[in-house]
Amino acid sequence: MHIAEGYLPPLHAAAWTLASAPFVVHGARAVARQVRERPSARLLLGAAGAFTFVLSAIKLPSVTGSSSHPTGTGLGAVLFRPPVMALLGTIVLLFQALLLAHGGLTTLGANVFSMAIVGPWVGWFAFRGLRAVRAPFAVAVFAAMALSDWATYLTTSVQLGLAHPDPTGGVPTSVARFLGIFAVSQVPLALAEGLLGVLLFRLLAQIAPDELRELGLDAALPPEPGSGPVPAAAAPTTTGER
């Protein structure tokens, strides 16, 4: 969920905005560097932003009258690294707040921190960690997409728990209640987003192989014919006994 307008106390809203600002500035520089060094990646940059916009605008009913949605930020994190998604995610969340009343302006910093900062970094670390132990590319992509989605909701639960502590149990009880709602209800969406990410990379391998190679994601491409290991020559056989 995007935290709605006015749902955070002013001090909390300002604190999350200040926490997010350095990441967004760094993300703007990362996007400018990508465009300068890899002009051919502009279409993929736009596609990553559009993918995040569409997926995170799909609001599905959740428990207690709230809503859940995919995030889509794992795609851009795998393609361009997490700093890029800090800027793209901020643009997405800003347009959604202005055009769709999805989220808000005062809560923009909090939503950016959870969806455009924490989510992409968790997804990217999952991807890099699995690739480091030679996990299949599809498995790493699935984990990146699913965990970036789930981490966003875990962060949002903490943000809401801090802003609205339980009258008796305080912040820990409030965080636990929000986690009990979103950490569970978001699991099916996270798994679905992971599968969608795998399918999307298979599509990109067909329509944008050169761009993936330029981004260092050759592992996403199917092996070329004749590029497999050469079978060893058959060892000579002997008959009889010495």
SS3 state at 183: helix
pLDDT at position 75 over 80: yes
* Residue 150 pLDDT: 92
Q: What domain range includes position 107?
A: 10-220
What mean pLDDT comes out for the span 196-204?
93
Question: Please, how many CA atoms are within 13 Å of residue 79, restricted to the half-sphere of its CB?
Answer: 31
The reply to whether 242 falls in a domain is no
How many helices (H) and strands (E) in the chain? 10, 2
The full length of the chain comes to: 242
What mean pLDDT comes out for the span 59-73?
71
What are the backbone dihedrals phi and psi of residue 239, each rounded to the nearest 5 degrees, phi first?
-120, 160
Model confidence over 167-195: pLDDT tens digits?
889 999 999 988 887 777 788 889 999 99
SS3 state at 225: coil
Model confidence over 134-171: pLDDT tens digits?
999 999 999 999 999 999 989 999 999 999 999 889 99
* Closest by CA position to 142, among listed 92, 85, 200: 200
Q: Could you give the CA distance from residue 11 to residue 20 in angstroms, rounded to a whole number?
A: 14
What is the CATH number for 183? Answer: 1.10.1760.20
State the DSSP code for 149: H
Residue 79: pLDDT band by 50, 70, 90 thresholds? Answer: very high
Q: Note whether 195 and 77 are within 8 A (CB).
A: no
* Residue 240 pLDDT: 44
Choose the weakest-confidence range: 66-75, 102-111, 129-138, 191-200: 66-75
Q: Could you give the CA distance from residue 161 to residue 155 in angstroms, rounded to a whole number?
A: 10
Q: Looking at this protein, which amino acid is placed at residue 109? A: G
Three-state helix/strand/coil letters over 5-26: CCCCCHHHHHHHHHHHHHHHHH
What domain count does the chain have? 1
The reply to whether 174 falls in a domain is yes
Q: Note whether 166 and 173 are within 8 A (CB).
A: yes
* Residue 136 pLDDT: 95
